[in-house]
Structure 1
């Protein structure tokens, strides 16, 4: 069950990075003075979330015991 969840979270992280790259590419191609100033914050947040999902998936896949004390 843990492996299935890890694979789903990994797929979600990869999808998140893929969508972020697509949005950034579209922004570079079609962005103009009407583009919101906050779009880079949202792209950054999306990138961070994708990386976090991938890290969580790897922790679950390899069964690493991460404890915060």
Structure 2
């Protein structure tokens, strides 16, 4: 399932995939795969993304039905 929430939050902060990747210590490809729903990040990476984007785990990773 695609994670459009991360992409929206990233764009709100005017960050490219590469910018976000650099801030959280992964490659741009990793961020792209997370946004595409093709990679399940570790909890530590999820927390780093949330902290960087000023969001909670629920904001970015909770799947609404």
> Which structure carries more helix by proportion?
1
Give the structure, 1 or 2, with the largest relative contact order (CA under 8 Å, sep 6 or more): 1
Q: Structure 1-normalised TM-score? A: 0.30
Q: What is the TM-score with the length of structure 2 in the denominator?
A: 0.32
